[in-house]
């Protein structure tokens, strides 16, 4: 990674932590803020994640562990509510880089793609449907909602990405760094227990 990419990664990391931006928008804003050519080579997400970890260790070491714990506990609550859809936690809350500005991303693996949406309607949960790119590169339906996180005392975004039940087989393949990219309820509970 060249010095411009490293600078983009560091600037993007600050935006991710301080503003709660996702990696893609943070990298694009970093290019503008640094007044680099719009066609500048961007760092990959692993480089941004490393920069986020560095930023947290320097500027948020006293607050981030408790915020991450609260978000993981809240994710577990939602995983229990949606247990019939085989929920798996992904994103910053799973990987350990989340702060109070991070959203919770749960990937649901459903026999019927509309069943999760029907469950939310039956429980009176307000949500916003949209389409996003799933982990396999295909468009998937996402149900986004706001939910008060008791450990933080404020609302956080919870995004339910609806995948076909058969997608679960490929969902647990290790990523480029050999890490599991998402975890089920048991794995999240183990992370919480290890942090205590």
Q: Which domains does the chain have, with CATH numbers?
A: 3-59 (no CATH), 64-195 (3.30.460.10)
Please provide the distance, in angstroms rounded to a whole number, between the alpha carbons at the two ends of the chain: 36
Q: What is the pLDDT of residues 133-186, one digit of tens each?
A: 888 788 999 999 999 999 999 999 999 999 988 887 777 788 778 888 999 999
pLDDT at residue number 101: 95
Q: Identify the pLDDT of residue 102.
A: 95
Predicted pLDDT at 176? 79
Predicted pLDDT at 25: 94
pLDDT for res 171: 76
3-state percent helix, strand, coil for the chain, nearest multiple of 5? 50, 20, 30
Q: What is the pLDDT of residue 96?
A: 95
Give the chain's residues under pLDDT 50: none
Using DSSP, how many helices (H) and how many strands (E) does the chain show?
A: 8, 5
Cα 77–99–167 angle (5° rounding)? 55
- pLDDT for position 169: 77
Question: pTM for this one?
Answer: 0.91
């Amino acid at each position: 990674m060249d010095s411009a990419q490293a600078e983009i990664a560091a600037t993007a990391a600050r935006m991710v932590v301080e503003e709660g931006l996702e990696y893609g928008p943070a990298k694009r804003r970093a290019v503008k803020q640094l007044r680099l050519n719009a066609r500048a080579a961007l760092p990959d997400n692993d480089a941004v994640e490393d920069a986020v970890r560095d930023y947290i260790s320097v500027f948020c070491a006293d607050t981030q562990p408790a915020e991450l714990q609260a978000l993981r506990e809240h994710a577990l609550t939602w995983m229990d509510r949606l247990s019939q859809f085989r929920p798996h936690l992904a994103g910053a809350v799973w990987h350990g880089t989340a702060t109070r500005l991070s959203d919770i991303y749960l990937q649901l693996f459903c026999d019927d793609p509309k069943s999760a949406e029907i469950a939310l309607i039956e429980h009176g949960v307000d949500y916003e449907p949209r389409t996003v790119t799933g982990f396999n590169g295909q468009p998937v339906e996402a149900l986004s909602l706001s939910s008060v996180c008791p450990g933080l005392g404020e609302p956080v975004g919870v995004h339910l990405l609806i995948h076909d039940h058969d997608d679960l087989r490929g969902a647990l393949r290790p990523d480029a760094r050999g890490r599991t990219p998402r975890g089920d309820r048991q794995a999240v509970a183990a992370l919480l227990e290890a942090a205590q």
